[in-house]
C-alpha cells in the first residue's frame, strides 16, 4: 500500500498520508508524490481543489528521521522537499486539510500555506525546531507572524510550544474544530464547495487574498540555508543525541 494515496471525489483531489505505523513521517518519496499531486491539479481543469488528510489520531510527525540528514545535505531528497514546498506556496488551486492528532514540524508549517484547515479536538500542532538546535522552515518565519501575530508565532516557532486545536483556531491556523467522526465529512464538504465555484473568479480572489509569494519563497530559501548550516553545529548534534537517547529509553 502506497505511503501517499491519491484519489478523487468529483472535482476534489484527495491526498491521504498513509504511513500511520510511522506516524506519517514524511520521506523524500512522499514529498515527491505530494508535489506531483498539487502541481498536477494546477494543470487539470477537471479539478478545483485538493484535500489533504491523514489517519485517525495522526496527521504527520514531520520529516522522517532517516531522511532528515539527507534532506539537509541537499541532493535528490533535499530537492524533493523544496519541490513540495514550492508546489504548495505557488500552486494555483485551493488546498484544504483535515487534521486529527499530531501535526509536528512540517506537518504544521505546511498548513500555513493552505486555504482552509479543519481539525478535531485531538489535534495538536508543534514545531520543535529550536529545541533541536535548528531554525524554522517552509517560509514559516515570515508567514506565521502574518497569520497569528508576532507573539503567537514566537510561541509556536521559537519556544516550540504545543498548540491544541482551539489555540490553533484562535491563532488563525485552523478554520473549524469538529468531532473526529465528522472531520472528513466537513473537510470534504468544504473542498467540494470551493471546487464548484467559478474557477477564474476563485483564482483571482485567491491570488488577491494570498498576495505576492516571491518573498515567501525567498524566505524559505534563506531558512533552508540556515537549517542546513545548523544541522552541522555542535548545538544541534548535542540536541539530536539527547533526543535519540530519550526515544531509546
| pLDDT tens-place string over residues 153-164 | 999 999 999 999
Copy the grid coordinates of residue 103: 501535526
Q: Average pLDDT, stretch 237-246? A: 77
**Beta strands in the chain, from DSSP E residues, in sequence order:** 4-9, 12-17, 49-53, 58-60, 95-99, 102-104, 116-119, 124-126, 163-164, 176-177
Task: Tell me yes or no: is domain 4-180 CATH 3.90.226.10.
Answer: yes
pLDDT at 71: 54
Indicate the domain borders of the chain.
4-180
Vertex 240: Cα angle to 234 and 243 (nearest 5)? 145
> What average pLDDT does the chain have?
93
Q: In what order do the strands lie in the sheet with 95-99?
A: 4-9, 12-17, 49-53, 95-99, 116-119, 176-177
pLDDT at 79: 83
Amino acid at each position: 500500500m502506497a505511503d501517499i494515496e491519491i484519489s478523487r471525489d468529483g472535482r476534489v483531489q484527495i491526498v491521504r498520508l498513509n504511513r500511520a505505523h510511522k506516524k506519517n513521517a514524511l520521506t523524500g518519496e512522499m514529498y515527491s508524490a505530494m508535489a506531483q499531486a498539487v502541481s498536477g491539479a494546477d494543470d487539470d481543469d477537471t479539478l478545483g481543489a485538493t484535500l489533504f488528510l491523514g489517519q485517525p489520531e495522526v496527521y504527520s510527525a514531520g520529516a522522517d528521521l532517516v531522511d532528515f540528514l539527507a534532506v539537509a545535505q541537499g541532493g535528490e531528497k533535499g530537492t524533493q522537499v523544496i519541490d513540495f514546498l514550492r508546489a504548495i506556496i505557488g500552486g494555483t488551486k485551493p488546498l484544504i486539510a483535515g487534521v486529527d492528532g499530531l501535526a509536528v514540524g512540517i506537518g504544521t508549517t505546511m498548513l500555513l500555506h493552505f486555504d482552509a484547515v479543519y481539525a478535531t479536538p485531538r489535534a495538536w500542532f508543534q514545531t520543535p525546531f529550536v529545541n533541536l538546535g535548528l531554525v524554522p522552515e517552509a517560509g514559516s518565519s515570515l508567514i506565521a507572524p502574518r497569520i497569528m501575530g508576532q507573539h503567537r508565532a514566537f510561541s509556536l516557532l521559537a519556544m516550540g510550544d504545543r498548540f491544541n486545536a482551539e489555540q490553533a483556531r484562535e491563532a488563525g491556523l485552523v478554520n473549524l474544530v469538529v468531532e473526529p467522526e465528522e472531520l472528513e465529512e466537513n473537510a470534504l464538504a468544504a473542498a467540494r464547495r470551493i471546487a464548484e465555484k467559478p474557477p477564474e473568479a476563485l483564482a483571482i480572489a485567491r491570488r488577491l487574498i494570498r498576495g505576492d509569494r516571491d518573498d515567501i519563497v525567498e524566505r524559505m530559501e534563506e531558512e533552508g540555508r540556515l537549517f542546513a548550516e545548523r544541522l552541522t553545529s555542535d548545538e544541534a548534534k548535542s540536541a539530536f543525541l539527547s533526543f535519540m537517547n530519550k526515544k531509546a529509553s
